Every structure is written in C-alpha cells, then in structure tokens.
Amino acid sequence: MRIKLLTAALTSAALFAGNAQAQIEIQWWHSMGGALGEALNGLANKFNLVQKEYKVVPTFKGSYPESMTAAIAAYRAGNAPHMLQVFEVGTATMMSAKGAIVPVAKVMTDAKETFDPKAYLPTVTGYYSDQKGNMLSFPFNSSTVMFYVNKDAFKKAGLDPNKPPKTWKEVVAAAEKLKASGHPCPYTTSWPSWMHIENFSAWHNVPIGTKENGFGGLDTQFTINSPLHVKHVSMLADMSKKGLFTYAGRTNQGDAKFSSGECAMFSGSTGAQAGIRKAGKFEWSINFIPYHDDVKGAPQNSIIGGASVWVMGGKKPEEYKGVAKFLAFLSRPDIQMDWHTTTGYVPITQAAYDMTKKSGFYDKDPGAELAVKQLTNKPPTANSKGLRFGNFVQGRTVIEEELENVFSGKKEAKPALDDAVKRGNEILRQFEAANK
Amino acid sequence: MEKRVVFRSAWLPYALVAPQIAITIVFFFWPATQAVWYSFQLQDAFGLRSQFVGLQNFAALFKDSNYVDSFKVTALFSVLVAFFGIAISLLLATMADRVLRGAMAYKTLLIWPYAVAPAVAGVLWAFLFAPSIGIVTYVLKGWGVDWNWILKGDQAMVLVVVASVWKQISYNFLFFLAGLQSIPRSLIEAAAIDGATPFRRFWTIVFPLLSPTTFFLLVVNIVYAFFDTFGVIDATTQGGPGQSTNILVYKVYHDGVKAADLGGSSAQSVILMFIVILLTVVQFRFVERKVQY
C-alpha cells in the first residue's frame, strides 16, 4: 500500500515536472513593490492560467533605476530577462541600444499576433513610439500629473471648495487667502521637473527641447529657458518667498504633505490618490492642472509618467511568441480595465477606457477619468506627445538642482534655467557622441 | 626591542599571505584597472558601442564648474566628519575609561551604532530631522529655528555630517579605548603626584601617547568620509539641495549606477582614487612625523 502510494506520488511528480519543462518560461523584471506588485503578479498568474504553453515569471528587482542597472549588467553578462519594465526617462537610453532590445511592433508582427497600433491612446503610446508610429516599448503603467485641492481648508479660508483654481493666477490668489486664514502651507508639489518643466511645457504647447523634444534626433537641445518657463519658475520662487509655496523635494515627498493636511493645494501624480484616500482626513478634489491664461491655446494636453515594458534582444523565436502573446493579453480591454481600476494607472486602449466608462466606475471615482481626459484634452502636438532625451536621469537631476537653487533664493530664475540648459545640453552631446 | 619571526621555509610565508593577495587583486586591483580602462572610453549603457576617447572624459569633467564645486563640498564634508568623529569619540573614550561601575554597559552602548548600515543611519536621522514630521524639527521650531534642509544647503550639510559622524564614532571609540588602556597607569599617577591637573595630564601625557591611534584614525576617517558615506547621502539629501551635499563619491554613484554613464563615472572614480592616494601619502610623509610611537 505504502509503496503504491509512493509510486503514485512519484509518477505524478514526474508528470508535473514534465509538464513544467514543456512550458516556455518568460522572465519579466519589474519595479512594482507593495500593492502594485501584487496587482502585477495577478496579471502574470491570470495569463499562466488561461494558457499552458508559456509561463510568465515576474521578478521584483528594486526601484526603476535599480532594475534597469540590473538588466544592463545581466545583458552584458549574457543573461538578460525577456521583458524589462523601464521608467519613462530611460526611454532614450533603451531605444538607442539597438541589438539589446527588440521593438514591440516587430515582436508582435513576427509572432503574427493581432496588433492594431490605432487601438491605443495616442498620448500614451506616442511617448514610446518612433517617428513613424512604430511602438518601441509597451506602455504598462502610465500616470500623469493632477492638481489636488483640500476642500476643508478652502472652506476655512472662505474660498468656494467647489470652485478649484483653474489658472495659476487663481492659484496664487487662493494661496494668499489660505495664508491669511493661517494655513501653514498653501501649495506644494511632487516631482518638480516632471510637473513644472516637462508637463508644464506640454500643457502650454511649448517645446522642452528642439527636434520635437528629442523625438527627431539625438542632436536635440533643451529650450526650457524660454520667457514662459522663466515666468513660471520666477512665479514659484516668488510664492516660495512669500510662504505660499513649500518645496518638498525631488520625488514624491509632496504627497505626504498633502495627505497629512499640511498643504492645501498640491500638484502630484495620479498615483498619489491611493495614499490620500488612505491617510487624508478631509474632503478633497482632483482637478486639471492649472495653466497661464495669457498663453494662446493653453491648455493643450498633459504627458505621461510611469513605465513601459521593453522586450530584450537575443532570445529564441518561440520565446518571442510567448512575449507577443502576453503583450496581446495585456492589451485586452478587460485586463486593462482591471489594471486601471485597481492601480489608478490610466488605460492604454480606447476600448478599455470605453469599457470602464460603461461599467459605471467613473461615477464612483471621477478622478480616474479626469486623468484620461487631461491626457487626451487635445490631439497631441510635437510639443506635447512626450520627450526623448538621452541620459535624462542626469538631465532631470540637473533641472532639479537648478530649480532648488531658485526656490532657495540662491539664483534668479533666468540664470538658473540658462545653466540648466547649458549643463543639460552637455549631457545630451555626451549621449549623442556615445550613441553615434 | 625588536620582535622578528623567522620562517625556515622559503615558500610558507608567501603561501600564508597568498589568500590576502588574491583577494586584493580580485577585489581591488582588477576593478581599479577596469575603472582606468573605462575612463578612457565613451560607451553606451549596454556596452554595444565603445570608442577610445583619450582624456576627453576628464576634460569634460573639469570643464563642468559644478564638478569643481563638488571638490569643495567634499573637502568641507570630510574635514568636518573626520574632525568631529575623532574629537567626540576621544572625549567619550576618556570618559568611559574613567567609569568604574557599569563600564561594560556604557562601552557596549557606544559601540552599538557601528552595527547599523550607513543607509539605515541616514534614514534614521532623516526621520528625526524631517522638515514636516521630524521630532528634532519640532523642537527646533519651538526654539524659533527655521529648519528645512530640503531647501537650505548648510542645514543639509549639518544633517549628513551628523549622520556620518554618529555612524563612525563607535569605530573610533573602540580604538581610542584600546589606546587609553595601553597607557601605563604609573605615568599618569606620577604626574598626579607631581600635582598636574587632569586637564594637563591629558594634554601632556595621554594625548601624545595616543598620537599613533589618532593618526591611524585620521587616515581611516578621511577614507570613510570619501567613500563609505554615499549610503547616508543617498538615503537623505541625494546630493541636494542644489549641489550642497553632492560629494564626489555620490556623483560617481549617481552617474555610474543610476544614470549608466560608465565613462564619466569611471573618470570620476579614477580622480577620486588619485586624491585618496595623494592624501594618504601626504598624511604619512608629513603628519606621521609628528607622531610619537
């Protein structure tokens, strides 16, 4: 009896092992921790359940720069993953690495997966496509910047909580009233460069750099010292001096300042909502980001942040088939809707957006739809479809350093932005030389 | 009195030091040589294309006024860390050496922080000093100090120096305590009988006898401030605000690891390597002369 049981166990184990071996494993390195990581694992599990040929194995590799560094090192050592999640500022570095990556459009057509680039939202995919419209990487988690208002603080200051400021002039006026009512921090921001330089430029339809923000070639140059940029940054510096604006730091430190109630108005990612919902003990609203009403045509549309999935080179054709199947699976409207509603990231296809709308989700959570509306406010122009600057990790640091010099009163806006352009261009030239 | 061990065998001494030499070659010389090699190259992140560019990476660095500024920041930072690290631990060691009751407990507590990783130390201090939620910030606000290291460069410098010094005190303390315990009691007693005050006894007997230890710690602390503190910086200021705490080694890390600019980052580490070699040579040639063994 015992022997029989044992043999049965062994046979079934062997069967399972055989089964597992026949499956083709697809390695996927990502940077989604906590609840987001669970949602991502859920996607992979679902894919592994609906088909048996391939098995997607997600691995958390630390923060965005960490997983990118790990993948680069792995590529150099000859064992890169099949798929890698890369943050938006790493896009130019990835796309220049010809041979190390395979464009998503090519993966899909080679595997004969149904793939219609027009099904995707243009502001989302434009960021990750070449000039001919070929999708280079697969937009996975996309967010954008929103404007948050603490309604209770507005009431206290005698402001109408249902009339959030639409323009920067109104923001300043509201901030003054909030300060007069004794509020310690009328306005703050997260991600200063992304919000006040990159999205600011797109929202006002002015270029961040020449050559269509770098889409048109490596010989691009920054143009963020234009009169409009100088005007905006000096306005922030002025607000900072008067105690209307509190600088929080280079990443998402502003989130906590808003959700704790310390700051009354806040520019932050769509991703900040989960935290505010959890920690905020006040009524709040989510709104379009403010604009300067003396700029013609503003507001245009905002641009995305977040990350996309890159397919790495040098793998077997049957493995690419699995990758293509998985990406097609990720594009399914129901999967997109699931991801969109659980994480707060925007959907990447029109069908997923329509489906979510029909489901009535936006009636409960209007903020989730507002992000999509802001991204698709107008058809994107050359200035507002995104940006593509080489080594923008360093470029962003330069911009943030110079912004800090302005907010702390060390430099005036004009010379600081001139320096940001000068130092940023040196980085671009270095990248151009290395990627000729 | 000279102690000398004589090996009879010709190969045994070499065999005994071989593992150490092997480790030094694999983990120190080999990477250092690679850094020198990379510093002459311009490479994309994936190493798909690389070209020999001679000294161009170095030229680009010195053309950048911010890089030159980073030298000043590093100099200030390492002097502050070494000075306060040594001074505070010397004070603590002299105190702990005189404690009669519960000496073990004091000593253990003082050695404790050494077990904390630099990044953790950085986060701890960053929490205490956090601009809106930190306890220390709260107290300082009560005293009328506007504490905001997110925007104020000198305060950011204070924060990273405090965190780095705190982390290093235990190490220095251990060496000073050992040094103090090896000073013959009879010397100090003789001086006491002659009527020298504790203050005088310290400066004329104890401190000179500790000079080899102090010298050793000076070298170690400077190297620590130059290389090991990037965890503290990364966990707190990340070089900001502006460039106020952007020390050389942090820029190496940022450019090389975060931004994947291998050529530029390697050139910086080669420069850093030369600075530390130079500093150590200077310390051994000039400072060591003042040391009494």
CB contact under 8 A, B151 and A397: no
- Specify the DSSP element, H or E, that contains A57: strand A54-60
**Residue A185 reports pLDDT greater than 90:** yes
Average pLDDT over residues B28-54: 87
Pairing of strands A185-189, A263-269: parallel
Of all residues in chain B, what percent carry a pLDDT higher than 70? 97
Average pLDDT over residues A382-392: 91
Domain B64-290 -> CATH class: mainly alpha
All residues of chain A having their beta carbon less than 8 Å from the beta carbon of residue B260 are 68-69, 72, 93, 391, 393
Write down the domain spans for chain A. 2-143+304-375, 145-302+389-434
Average pLDDT over residues B100-106: 81
Write down the domain spans for chain B. 64-290
pLDDT at B292: 64
Exposed e or buried b for every residue in B63-83, given b needs 16+ CB within 10 A?
ebebbeebeebbeebbebbbe
Three-point CA angle B181, B182, B188, nearest 5°: 80
**Residue B291 reports pLDDT greater than 80:** no
**Residue A14 reports pLDDT greater than 50:** no
pLDDT at B48: 80
Q: Chain A: which residues have CB within 8 Å of chain B?
A: 65, 68-69, 72, 75-76, 93, 96-100, 247-250, 253, 256-257, 260, 262, 391, 393-394, 397, 400-402, 404-405, 407-408, 410, 423, 426, 430, 433-436
Domain A2-143+304-375 -> CATH class: alpha beta
Average pLDDT over residues B118-135: 82
Quick: pLDDT tens for B145-200. Answer: 888 888 888 999 999 999 999 989 999 999 999 999 888 888 888 988 998 888 88
Burial label for A90, CB within 10 Å (0-12, 13-18, 19+), is: buried
**Residue B1 reports pLDDT greater than 50:** no
pLDDT at A8: 52
pLDDT at B248: 92
User: Which residues of A1-53 form beta strands (DSSP E)?
Assistant: 24-30
Instruction: Give the residue, A188 or B137, on which the prediction is more confident.
Output: A188
pLDDT at B124: 86
**Residue B136 reports pLDDT greater than 50:** yes
Confidence grade of residue A333 (pLDDT, cut at 50, 70, 90): very high
Among candidate residues B292, B157, B277, the one with its CA nearest the CA of residue B219: B277
pLDDT at A301: 95
DSSP string, chain B: -------SSSSHHHHHHHHHHHHHIIIIIHHHHHHHHHHTEEE-TTSS-EEE-TTHHHHHHHH-HHHHHHHHHHHHHHHHHHHHHHHHHHHHHHHHHH--SSHHHHHHHHHGGGGS-HHHHHHHHHHHT-TTT-HHHHHHHHTT----TTT-HHHHHHHHHHHHHHHHHHHHHHHHHHHHHTS-HHHHHHHHHTT--HHHHIIIIIHHHHHHHHHHHHHHHHHIIIIITHHHHHHTTTT-STTTT--HHHHHHIIIIIS--HHHHHHHHHHHHHHHHHHHHHIIIIIGGG---
Q: Looking only at Cα atoms, what is the longest distance across chain A?
A: 87
**Residue B290 reports pLDDT greater than 80:** no
Average pLDDT, whole number, for chain B?
87
Nearest Cα residue in chain B from A237 = B151
Q: pTM score, two decimals?
A: 0.86
- Picking from B46, B66, B132, the nearest residue to A262 by CB comes out as B132
Cα distance between residue A320 and residue B68, in whole Å: 48
All residues of chain B having their beta carbon less than 8 Å from the beta carbon of residue A252 are none
Among candidate residues A198, A169, A125, the one with its CA nearest the CA of residue A295: A169
pLDDT at B98: 80
Q: Do domains A2-143+304-375 and A145-302+389-434 have the same CATH topology?
A: yes
pLDDT at B134: 84
Q: What is the CA radius of gyration of chain B?
A: 23
Our CA-based measurement puts residue A11 at a distance from the nearest CA of chain B, in whole angstroms, of 45
Average pLDDT over residues A135-153: 94
Average pLDDT over residues A337-356: 90
Instruction: Give the residue, A330 or A277, on which the prediction is more confident.
Output: A330
Our CA-based measurement puts residue B133 at a distance from the nearest CA of chain A, in whole angstroms, of 9
- Picking from A99, A393, A408, the nearest residue to B242 by CB comes out as A408
User: Among all chains, which residue has been given the structure tokens 């090389």?
Assistant: B256
Range picked from A225-229, B40-44, B270-274 for highest mean pLDDT: A225-229
**Least confident window among A14-28, A115-129, A205-219, B110-124:** A14-28
Say how far residue B220 (Cα) sits from the centre of its chain: 6
Q: Which two tokens stand for residue A316?
A: 């077997």
Instruction: Give the residue, B169 or B43, on which the prediction is more confident.
Output: B169
pLDDT at A1: 46
Nearest Cα residue in chain A from B237 = A249
All residues of chain B having their beta carbon less than 8 Å from the beta carbon of residue A407 are 151
Average pLDDT over residues A170-193: 95
All residues of chain B having their beta carbon less than 8 Å from the beta carbon of residue A253 are 150
Average pLDDT over residues B194-208: 88
Average pLDDT over residues A273-280: 84
Average pLDDT, whole number, for chain A?
90
**Residue A218 reports pLDDT greater than 50:** yes
CB contact under 8 A, A400 and B132: no
Residue A145: helix, strand or coil by DSSP?
Answer: strand
Instruction: Name the superfamily (CATH) of residues A145-302+389-434.
Output: Periplasmic binding protein-like II (3.40.190.10)
pLDDT at A194: 95
pLDDT at A435: 83
- Picking from A100, A401, A402, the nearest residue to B48 by CB comes out as A100
Instruction: Give the residue, A18 or B216, on which the prediction is more confident.
Output: B216
Confidence grade of residue A15 (pLDDT, cut at 50, 70, 90): very low
**Residue A289 reports pLDDT greater than 60:** yes
Cα distance between residue A401 and residue A411, in whole Å: 11
Confidence grade of residue A133 (pLDDT, cut at 50, 70, 90): confident
All residues of chain A having their beta carbon less than 8 Å from the beta carbon of residue B49 are 434-436
pLDDT at A307: 93
Confidence grade of residue A97 (pLDDT, cut at 50, 70, 90): confident
All residues of chain A having their beta carbon less than 8 Å from the beta carbon of residue B53 are 433
Q: What is the phi/psi pair of residue A138, to 5°?
A: -95, 115
Quick: pLDDT tens for A307-327. Answer: 999 999 989 999 999 999 999
CB contact under 8 A, A68 and B260: yes
pLDDT at B116: 83
pLDDT at A4: 54
Residue A162: helix, strand or coil by DSSP?
Answer: coil
**Residue B276 reports pLDDT greater than 90:** no
Q: Chain B: which residues have CB within 8 Å of chain A?
A: 42-49, 53, 60, 64, 66, 131-133, 150-153, 238-243, 254-255, 257-261, 263-264
Confidence grade of residue B103 (pLDDT, cut at 50, 70, 90): confident
Q: What is the CA radius of gyration of chain A?
A: 23
